[in-house]
Amino acid sequence: MGELNARDEWIEKWRQKHDIAEPEFVDGAYSQAIDEFLRYFNGNLNQFSFETTLLGTEFQKQVWKTLEEIPYGEQWTYKDIAKSIGNIKALRAVGGAINKNPISIAIPCHRVIGSDGSLTGYASGLDHKRFLLHHETASEHWLHQTS
């Protein structure tokens, strides 16, 4: 219980520091998100549509928006993301923003791989990233790219 209170206090201080309004809770939003995740994992949804208000820097939000543009079943590199946001030299910053992604899967940071096709960091672990990529491609030939 102490950890939750500490987290809530930190969030409240961060929210006030960045002059962010108190969160609004929309009726039905949670059930819509749950429904979409179930549809995704059952292979019946390729893109999430539930509404979110993401808390982050403008740069992080720009990177997260770009992640949403990666088509289902495809992978982009960190360099692709940096090019897409118009700052090819921002590879490390892009990686840092991806690392702070608050809604992995829905904001598909698992679709980002190394320039050599290798799997790179994923907050939930590389096994989960591998699972998600395989889930989206459903290809037996996919694993050679990211082993």
Q: What number of residues does the chain have? A: 147
Outline where 49-139 has alpha helix (H): 58-67, 78-84, 91-99, 126-137
- The answer to whether the CB of 119 falls within 8 A of the CB of 130 is yes
Q: Is 77 helix (H, G, I), strand (E, B) or coil?
A: strand
d(CA 112, CA 75): 6
| Pair 145, 133: CB distance under 8 Å | no
109 is a catalytic site residue? yes
Distance between CA atoms of 127 and 67, rounded to whole angstroms?
A: 20
Question: Of the listed 82, 94, 109, 133, which one is catalytic?
Answer: 109
Q: List the catalytic residues.
A: 109
